[in-house]
Amino acid sequence: MSISLESELIGMQIISEVVATTLKAMREHASPGMSTKELDDFGGQILQDLGARSAPRLTYGFPGWTCISVNNEVAHGIPSANKMLQEGDLINIDVSAELNGFWSDNGGSFVLGADVHKHQKLVDTSKRILQRAISQIRGGVRIADIGRLIEKEAKRSGYRVIRNLTGHGIGRGLHETPHEIANYYDPYNRERFRKNSVVAVETFISTASTIANTEADGWTLTGDRGGFVAQHEHTIVITDGAPIILTEMNGIWN
């Protein structure tokens, strides 16, 4: 969406605070021995208490309040009572929701407890790249140039990017124009970021895979070449200068 009224900015700030608060609380609540369904129900209760509706459930009929992906799962992991969290797991939580006609999206990967499987470097790289990418976004910048930056920084750190998962416009719906804010350079994408528009920018930094494939459950995505993926995401408002990071309070950069 393009923000033209103060009421629209306020609406986006409110729903963004909801999803950011939920993501942060879920990350802090996660512990070894807990099922992903328990963690999802915890987050779902926060959304309900704040009057928001789960975006993936509302839009796609997703079987969970939030997406929780563990270890080799890239994205869209289904919360399950049979999937138990363990020390050192690489966990990704993606929280998106709607409130009063406004939609916001954010996500983040983290290592649960001690980094026994050495995932922290991947997580830190994803965080750093997202921070650098967002710092370069302003009205008039080519979307493809941000994809080039993300891919270049990933390769410099010894990683790859997932090419078929992208950031997107957001605001009055979960997915709006621009429909693809890719993690790589697409020379055919001539689109530019527009001042006052709202977008969800996300990194998908990978140790091995470049494509995410859908598993038999119809939702869970895993990499075509295995390995692990870290994702971090913020919803932002584009300006002539530094973007307004609406979901900053989720603390994914802390």
Give residue-wise pLDDT tens across range 57-105: 999 999 999 999 999 999 999 999 999 999 999 999 999 999 999 999 9
pLDDT beneath 50: ranges in the chain: none
Q: Is 105 annotated as a binding residue?
A: yes
Identify the pLDDT of residue 169.
98
CA distance 208 to 136: 27
Enumerate residues 6+ apart whose C-beta is below 8 A from 211: 162, 163, 164, 223, 224
The domain locations on the chain are 6-250
What pLDDT score was predicted for residue 56?
97
Annotated binding residue at 191? no
Q: Is 119 annotated as a binding residue?
A: no
Q: So what CATH class is 6-250? A: alpha beta
**Residue 146: its pLDDT value, please?**
98
Is 202 annotated in a binding site? The answer is yes
6 is in an annotated binding site: no
Q: Is 232 annotated among the ligand-binding residues?
A: no
In sequence order, the 6+-apart residues with CB closer than 8 A to the CB of 69 are: 75, 76, 77, 91, 92, 94, 220, 221
pLDDT value, residue 254: 87
Q: Is 175 annotated as a binding residue?
A: yes
Count of CB atoms situated within 10 Å of the CB of 194:
16
The confidence score (pLDDT) of residue 186 equals 95
**CA-based nearest residue to 56, from 220, 247, 230:** 220
**What CA–CA distances, in Å, run from 87 to 13, 32, 228?**
34, 6, 16
